[in-house]
Structures are given as C-alpha cells and as structure tokens.
C-alpha cells in the first residue's frame, strides 16, 4: 500500500491498526536467475534497479544479518557530488540526480535534505585547489560557489575564523549537498525491491561460491545451496572474505572509521561543514544530535570500533574549528568497516569468473553512492557491460596503472587514503 | 592498542606509524607479483601480520595481531622477521 498524508491521518483515526510489515520474509528457493550477496544499501538498490530498470524477475538478495544492520545504518549520512577527477565526477553526479528523485521514485520519505555543504580552506594554495575543484564540478553540471571569508561567516558565524594554525580563508559551497536519513534509504529500497518481487533473505550467510568451468553456478549459504547463473558481490568491508570464496584477492584492505553523535540540541548547525585540514566534518541530524567524524584510524581492522587516540584527535579538531561544541556532550561513538582501495575510489566491474560481478571499494564514501552504485551495478549485471556513469570504475586500474582516481593526490598505495 | 617494540618494550599506539601488511617484496622488474605485493591483500578477519614503525627509536616492527579483537600477540624487529 502506498504512503500518503491521507493514509497517515486515516491510520491515526483508526488506532494505527492498518500498518503491516512492508517486505516479506521469504525462505530461500532452490534457484534464482540472479543472487545479490549483501543486503546493505548498495545490494538493495542493485536488486531494486534490476527489477525496475531491466524488468528482471526471479532475483534474491541474501544478507547474513538483517536489512539495514550494516554500514547503511552506521554512517554519517552525507550526500554530495563534489568530486574532481573524471570517473568519480560523472558517477557521483549521476548518483546525486538519483537522490533528488528518490523519494518520489520509492514513495518513501528518506528525509533527503539539500542543506548545502561547505568545504573550508585555510591558505592561498588551498583556495586555488578549491577554485579548480569548483570549476570541475561546474563542468560536470553540478553546482559550486566559491565563498570568501565573509561569505563563509554569513553561513557559519560560529567558527573560529582567526585560529592561528588554520585561519578560515573561505570555503567551497556545494548547495545541493546535504544529508538523508540512512535507515530510511535501506528500508525504502527494500520495500521497493520486495514490491517488485525480489526475495530479501535475511539471516542467510553465504559460505561458498559455486564455480564450474570458469562460470558461476550458485552460492552455498547457511540456509542451503542456491543456484544462480549470475551472482553479484556487494558486501563492503567483507569484500575480501567473500571474494576469497571465488579464489580472488582484491585490491582492498578493511579499515575502521569512527563517528560520533552528541545529545540532541536545538538547531545550531544548518549545513554540512567539512574541515579537511583537521580531518573533521559535522552536520546536525533532524533529531538534533551533532553527527561528526574524522579520518580513519589507519590500520587494518574488522573490530567495528576504534581506538582512543583518534577520538582525541577528532575532539581536538572540533574544538579548534568551533569552540562552541565544547558545551555539547557526546552521546555515543561507533566504528564502521571501510573497504579501502589503494586510490580511495570504488570498483564496479566483472570478475575473471563468468557471471560473477563485484561492487566494492567504497572506502568512507559509500552512503551517497547508494543510488548510483545500485543503478550502475544493476546495469552491469543485466547488460553485461558497464553503465556510462561507472565505466571507469575498473578493477584492473591498479595492475595497469591507467585510470587511477586518486582524489587526494597521495599515490595509489594502501594506507594513504 | 599497545604495541610491543623489541627495543623499547610495549608502547602506546600513538608512538607508531602503520605501514600495512608484512609482505615479501618481489625481485626484478614489473610482473604480476608486483601487483600482488603493492595492491592485492588477503585482508584477513582474524590474525594478521603487519609492519609498524616505532617513531622514537626508528625500528620497523612486524606485529602479529587480531583484526577483529585488536589483541596484539607479538612483535619482532622486521630485520629478524625477514619481512
């Protein structure tokens, strides 16, 4: 049943007795045409677009936990398209356009809020770099406004503009950047996929990938074997383990990234603010909590929690940038498992095994990519050729040294992004 | 985490810089072995061996630790580990 204002009023008057679960909980069948491993944002979006864009039926998503229990429910919810390099630029631009139509598309309120994102700069050199990035974004058809110091002050009066180490020189405003409700994105895609006949199979861990004569024939799971002629791996931080079931080693190392949220406060931060020099970024959730984070802990980890030195570093950066935050109290913190590639950019590609596809390497930016990644991965699986928006997200770019997308300019090497 | 330095004893994480998986560098010119060494990773969830640099004393340490529990079980000088 579709959601609407009328429906809410009617349910309110009838004791909210009419709401029902919005997706089924099916047992796995013996065979599907396509099995997607991983029921996170990207996997659900992939299944949704396979059904929606390519008219395919007979699709299963297998998830070892529950829908929305992975990184899609454990991130800082930022949505943006402010990339510089070809490859990333067109991909994230396409993804943001999908975001802008997502609520209508899914008939689901994902609370997408284009409140504007400001990247701060603190030197003449950084200003030049951001002017260039802004031009690249405009060339891609996205929006970017270079703000001077007073321009930033008009938006963010609470910053410490005269910090001796990082005085604020200005910022690059990306007006269409913002945030969304992370859980709702998973739920919206899950509901949309289920309504188009996709089986969402939870508590079903993949334990093996069946390959015969160089072709994939199905997967083994904790709930039995499932035959499939096409299998997509989209499992974020666990990519290494699942790929190993097909005999592959990936250019991926899993790292921990921490994030923090304060107690709920009245509205005080209206934008997404990114303080790159301090490895710090912040926004305020609709519930009032200040949601912020920093850089990786910078060692391989699956612990889903970080260490104290990075917490200290993030808190110091917060105090450096906006001393008012010292009055807020941190409510909780958590760590996510990030599938880091050597150049910090993602992979959507075929594998050496026929019928086996992989979507991974989202590093610390997977949330904003959910619609674009699902769209492009569905296209690759259905058509057996990449979608234009993701044509450069190739796995062999590291071995060949061509087409690397090293946004930070630090080199395509593990541990530098 | 606290990490054992063979010279200085067990020290705070903050004294170390992480370099990554402790892999043997291939010989000779470019080959798929170099791609494997530079880019591809086993990326284990569990026991792993990686290289850490102890900034105060300048020792490269090969650390054995668990990537799931963060338990550190050993650390020897990279020279002695042969990696």
CB A67 within 8 A of CB A44: yes
Among the partner residues A303, A398, A399, nearest to B68 by beta-carbon distance: A303
Q: Are residues A301 and B67, on separate chains, in Cβ contact within 8 Å?
A: yes
Instruction: Check whether residue A264 and residue A171 sit in a common domain.
Output: yes
Q: Are residues B41 and A413, on separate chains, in Cβ contact within 8 Å?
A: no
CATH number of the domain where residue B31 is located = 3.30.2270.10
Q: Are residues B38 and A250, on separate chains, in Cβ contact within 8 Å?
A: no
Domain that residue A299 falls in: 114-177+253-340
SS (H, E, C) chain A: CCCCHHHHHHHHHCCCCCCCCCCCCCCCCCECCEEEECCCHHHHHHHHHHHHHHCCCCEEEECCCCCCCCHHHCCCCEECCCCCCCCHHHHHHHHHHHHHCHHHHHCCCCCCECCCEEEEECCHHHHHHHHHHHHHHHHCCCCCEEEEHHHHHHHCCCCCCCCCCCCCCEEEEECCCEECCHHHHHHHHHHHHHHCCCEEECCCCEEEEEEECCEEEEEEECCEEEECCEEEECCHHHHHHHHHCCCCCECCEEEEEEEEEEEECCCCCCCEEEEHHHCEEEEECCCCEEEEEEEEEEEECCCCCCCHHHHHHHHHHHHHHCHHHHHCCEEEEEEEEEEECCCCCCEEEECCCECEEEEECCCCCCCCCHHHHHHHHHHHHHHCCCCHHHCCCCCCHHHHCCCCCCCCCCCCCCCCC
| A309 shares contact with chain B (CB less than 8 Å) | yes
pLDDT for B83: 58
Alpha carbon of A241: minimum distance to chain B alpha carbons (Å)? 7
Q: Are residues A307 and B44, on separate chains, in Cβ contact within 8 Å?
A: no
| A298 shares contact with chain B (CB less than 8 Å) | yes
Work out how many domains chain B is built from and give that number.
1
Residue A224 lies in a domain: yes
d(CA A268, CA A20): 37
Residues in chain B within 8 Å Cβ distance of A411? none
Residue A239, CA distances (Å) to A68, A264, A356, B20 in order: 17, 35, 13, 18
Instruction: Check whether residue A120 and residue A189 sit in a common domain.
Output: no
Residue A106 lies in a domain: no
Alpha carbon of A66: minimum distance to chain B alpha carbons (Å)? 20
Radius of gyration of chain B (CA): 13
Residue A41 lies in a domain: yes
More reliable by pLDDT, A415 or A46:
A46
| A414 shares contact with chain B (CB less than 8 Å) | yes
Last residue of a domain, one of A300, A318, A340: A340
Query: Is the ipTM reported for this complex over the cut 0.90?
Result: yes
Identify which of A373, A403, A376, A348 has the alpha carbon closest to the alpha carbon of residue A85: A403
Domain that residue B60 falls in: 2-81
**pLDDT tens, residue by residue, A359-371:** 999 999 999 999 9
| A301 shares contact with chain B (CB less than 8 Å) | yes
Instruction: Check whether residue A274 and residue A291 sit in a common domain.
Output: yes
Shortest CA distance from B22: residue in chain A: A300
d(CA A291, CA A305): 16
Residue A13 lies in a domain: no
Residue A393 lies in a domain: yes
CATH number of the domain where residue A270 is located = 3.30.9.10
Instruction: Check whether residue A59 and residue A127 sit in a common domain.
Output: no
Last residue of a domain, one of A296, A321, A340: A340
Instruction: Check whether residue A206 and residue A237 sit in a common domain.
Output: yes
Instruction: Check whether residue A36 and residue A152 sit in a common domain.
Output: no
| A299 shares contact with chain B (CB less than 8 Å) | yes
Instruction: Check whether residue A161 and residue A203 sit in a common domain.
Output: no
Residues in chain A within 8 Å Cβ distance of B13? 307, 309
Q: Are residues A300 and B38, on separate chains, in Cβ contact within 8 Å?
A: no
**pLDDT tens, residue by residue, A328-354:** 999 999 999 999 999 999 999 999 999
Instruction: Check whether residue A242 and residue A198 sit in a common domain.
Output: yes
Residue pairs spanning A and B at CB distance below 8 A: 70
Among the partner residues B12, B40, B68, nearest to A250 by beta-carbon distance: B40
Identify which of A259, A364, A360, A375 has the alpha carbon closest to the alpha carbon of residue A318: A259
CATH number of the domain where residue A219 is located = 3.50.50.60
Work out how many domains chain A is built from and give that number.
2
| Mean of pLDDT values over A282-291 | 97
**What is the end-to-end Cα distance of chain B in Å, rounded?**
22
Residue A105 lies in a domain: no
Instruction: Check whether residue A54 and residue A167 sit in a common domain.
Output: no
Instruction: Check whether residue A281 and residue A260 sit in a common domain.
Output: yes
**pLDDT tens, residue by residue, A24-59:** 999 999 999 999 999 999 999 999 999 999 999 999
Q: Which residues of B make CB contacts under 8 Å with A? A: 1, 12-14, 18-21, 32, 35-36, 38-45, 48, 50, 67-70
Whether the pLDDT of residue A417 is over 90: the answer is no
Last residue of a domain, one of A292, A310, A340: A340
d(CA B79, CA B76): 8
What percent of chain A has pLDDT above 70?
Answer: 100
Residue A327 lies in a domain: yes
Q: Are residues A303 and B36, on separate chains, in Cβ contact within 8 Å?
A: no
More reliable by pLDDT, B81 or A4:
A4
Alpha carbon of A115: minimum distance to chain B alpha carbons (Å)? 37
Whether the pLDDT of residue A174 is over 80: the answer is yes
Task: Share the mean pLDDT of chain A.
Answer: 96
Residue A102 lies in a domain: no
Residues in chain A within 8 Å Cβ distance of B43? 239-241, 250, 252-254, 300
Mutate to test the interface with A, among B30, B43, B50, B61 (most CBs of A within 10 A): B43
Shortest CA distance from A308: residue in chain B: B1
Pairing of strands A117-121, A272-275: parallel
B82: confidence class by pLDDT, cuts 50, 70, 90:
confident
Alpha carbon of A284: minimum distance to chain B alpha carbons (Å)? 30
Among the partner residues B20, B67, B68, nearest to A415 by beta-carbon distance: B20
Chain A residues 384-413 within an 8 A CB cutoff of chain B: 398-399, 412-413
Whether the pLDDT of residue A1 is over 80: the answer is no
Q: Are residues B14 and A299, on separate chains, in Cβ contact within 8 Å?
A: no
Alpha carbon of B80: minimum distance to chain A alpha carbons (Å)? 22
pLDDT for A415: 86
Owner of token pair 């010292």: A326
Q: Are residues A254 and B69, on separate chains, in Cβ contact within 8 Å?
A: no
């Amino acid at each position: 049943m579709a959601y609407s204002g009328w429906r809410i009023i009617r349910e309110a008057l009838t004791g909210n007795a009419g709401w029902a679960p919005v997706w089924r909980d099916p047992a796995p069948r013996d065979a599907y045409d396509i099995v997607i491993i991983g029921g996170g944002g990207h996997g659900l979006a992939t299944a949704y677009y396979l059904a929606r864009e390519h008219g395919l039926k007979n699709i299963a998503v297998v998830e070892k936990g529950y829908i929305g229990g992975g990184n899609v429910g454990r991130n800082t919810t930022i949505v943006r398209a402010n990339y510089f390099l070809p490859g990333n630029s067109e991909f994230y631009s396409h993804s943001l356009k999908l975001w802008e139509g997502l609520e209508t598309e899914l008939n689901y309120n994902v609370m997408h809020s284009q409140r504007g994102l400001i990247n701060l700069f603190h030197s003449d050199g950084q200003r030049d770099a951001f002017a260039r990035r802004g031009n690249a974004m405009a060339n891609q058809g996205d929006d970017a406004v270079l703000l001077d110091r007073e321009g930033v002050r008009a938006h963010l009066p609470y910053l410490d503009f005269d910090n001796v180490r990082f005085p604020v020189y200005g910022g690059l405003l990306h007006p269409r950047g913002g945030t969304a409700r992370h859980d709702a994105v998973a739920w919206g895609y899950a509901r949309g996929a289920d309504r188009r006949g996709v089986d969402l199979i939870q508590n079903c861990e993949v334990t093996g990938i069946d390959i015969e004569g160089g072709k994939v024939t199905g997967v083994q799971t904790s709930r039995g074997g499932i035959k499939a002629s096409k299998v997509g791996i989209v499992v974020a931080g666990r990519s290494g383990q699942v790929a190993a079931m097909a005999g592959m080693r990936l250019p991926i190392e899993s790292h921990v990234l921490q994030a923090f949220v304060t107690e709920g406060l009245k509205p005080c931060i209206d934008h997404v603010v990114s303080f790159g020099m301090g490895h710090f970024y912040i926004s305020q959730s609709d519930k009032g909590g200040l949601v912020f984070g920093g850089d990786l802990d910078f060692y391989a980890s699956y612990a889903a929690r970080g260490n104290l030195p990075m917490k200290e570093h993030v808190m110091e950066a917060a105090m450096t940038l906006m001393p008012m935050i010292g009055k807020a109290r941190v409510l909780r913190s958590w760590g996510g498992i990030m599938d880091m590639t050597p150049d910090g950019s993602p992979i959507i590609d075929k594998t050496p095994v026929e019928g086996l596809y992989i979507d991974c390497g989202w590093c610390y930016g997977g949330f904003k990519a959910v619609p674009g990644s699902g769209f492009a991965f569905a296209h690759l699986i259905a058509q057996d050729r990449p979608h234009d928006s993701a044509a450069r997200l190739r796995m062999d770019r590291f071995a060949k040294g061509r087409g690397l997308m090293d946004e930070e300019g630090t080199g395509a090497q593990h541990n530098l992004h | 985490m606290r990490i054992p330095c063979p010279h200085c004893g067990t020290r705070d994480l903050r004294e170390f810089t992480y370099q990554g998986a402790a892999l043997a560098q291939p010989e000779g010119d470019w080959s798929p072995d170099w791609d494997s060494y530079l880019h591809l990773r086993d990326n284990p969830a569990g026991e792993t061996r990686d290289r850490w640099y102890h900034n105060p004393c300048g020792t490269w340490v090969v650390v054995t630790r668990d990537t799931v529990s963060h338990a550190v079980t050993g650390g020897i000088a990279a020279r002695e580990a042969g990696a």
